[in-house]
Amino acid sequence: MTAVQNAGPTADDLAYIRFRAPDLEKMRVFLEDFGFKVMPGETEDGVPALFSRGKGGAPVIHIVEQGDPTFLGIGFKMASMESLKALSEYDGASEICEILAPGGGYRVRFEDPNGYAIDGVYGYIERAQAPPFVRQPMNTMAARLRRNSPIRLPRDKPVPVNRIGHCVLNVRSFRGSEAWFKERFGLLTSEEFYVDDKSQVVGGFLRCNRGDIPTDHHTVALVQSQQTGINHVAFEVDDWDSVMLGHDYLGSKGYKSYWGVGKHILGSQIFDYWEDPYGNVHEHFTDGDVFDESHVPTLESVDNLLGVQWGPLPPDKDL
């Protein structure tokens, strides 16, 4: 395995996202319908909260604290305790503190240039994972691999999410935030995108650097915008059937579809976006690209960001 060359701290993945919402019961119902296992609890300050996980090993991937509705921040899973300690040396870092939430571990917290709380965490206890779901092969014109084995899918119940995949943040300055995140978390650029002219770069997809271990096409995407906030957060489901089953199920429950089902150009994911009761966009995705450190960044038109390989075009809203 190639050693990661970053001189500074390095993140391996996204760990969790944090929101605040006034009605935790309303959020609990949405989160369970979306496919989370929800655990009621309270924050370190004694505020009622929901801690949610997926089928994967991470003990918590989604946190909602009771209060006025807002996006609070995200946490990165650091590559090592040394990385967490290196992170704590940066200006503005909190002391390393113990996490008093399911899984435990240690945390460093920053306020980033947009006012988001950005955490680095390490040392939480992973859960034993269920065996990976193995999809039966598809019968195609090239090969009839599934024989004497009809498919019967479980309808009318939530589709479990596995893990948190990525989030997209609206930021005041793309270059400013790009430097801030890369310095602290060792992120690499997968693609940048421009509007009108190649000199007008307005955002980019950033991924973790795990050397020759492939990682998601993006862990964080940054989009320069007049209005800061969360654009969306994404959770990986098992496969295409899961995306479609989740789409039908969430629709049957009356939730508001934001965009999908479709297939992105940049990242190649099959995606399906839904709004939670407070308008925060949560995505189910599957079949995304994975890159190792050898991938060379490209510069893409924003048309490729917003376009699809199939499926509907995005709603007419600012990025």
The minimum distance between CB 234 and Fe ion, in angstroms, equals: 4
Least distance from C-beta 44 to Fe ion, angstroms? 30
Give the residue closest to Fe ion by C-beta.
234
C-alpha dihedral sign at 22, 28, 33, 38: positive
Which distant-in-sequence residues (6+ apart) come within 8 Å of 150 by Cβ?
none
Q: Hey, which residues does 299 pair with through a beta bridge?
A: 192
Nearer to Fe ion among residue 108 and residue 266 (C-beta): 266
Distances (CA, A) of 42 to 65, 102, 305: 8, 11, 38
Of 86 and 237, which CB lies nearer to Fe ion in the complex structure?
Answer: 237
Residue 39: how many CA atoms within 13 Å on its side-chain side?
14
Q: What is the CA radius of gyration of the chain?
A: 19
Nearer to Fe ion, 119 or 283 (CB): 283
* Shortest distance in whole angstroms from residue 191 CB to Fe ion: 13
How many residues does this entry show for the chain?
319
The least CB distance from residue 81 to Fe ion, in Å, is 30
Residue 153 C-beta: closest distance to Fe ion, Å: 24
Q: Least distance to Fe ion from the beta carbon of 161, Å? A: 13
Phi-psi region of 212 (alpha: psi -120 to 50; beta: other; left: phi over 0): alpha
Q: In terms of CB distance, is 102 or 288 closer to Fe ion? A: 288
Least distance in angstroms from the C-beta of 168 to Fe ion: 6
Q: Cα dist. 60→38, 78, 171 in Å?
A: 9, 15, 25
Output 65 or 236, the one with its CB closest to Fe ion.
236
The residue behind tokens 């038109």 is 301
Q: Are strands 48-53 and 62-66 parallel, antiparallel or unpaired?
A: antiparallel
User: Between residues 13 and 283, which has the closer beta carbon with respect to Fe ion?
Assistant: 283
Interface residues toward Fe ion, by CB under 5 A: 234, 283
- Measure the CA–CA gap between 17 and 74, rounded to whole angstroms: 4
Query: What are the counts of helices (DSSP H) followed by strands (DSSP E) for the chain?
Result: 5, 20
Residue type at 95?
Answer: E
- List, in sequence order, every residue forming a beta bridge with 62; answer none if it has no partner: 17, 52
Q: With respect to Fe ion, which residue has the nearer C-beta, 236 or 283? A: 283
Residue from 230, 216, 229, 224 nearest 188 by CA? 216
Shortest distance, position 30 Cβ to Fe ion, whole Å: 18
Question: Which residue, 59 or 288, has its beta carbon nearer to Fe ion?
Answer: 288
Q: What are phi and psi for residue 195, nearest 5 degrees? A: -110, 130
Q: 118 forms bridges with which residues in the sheet?
A: 74, 110
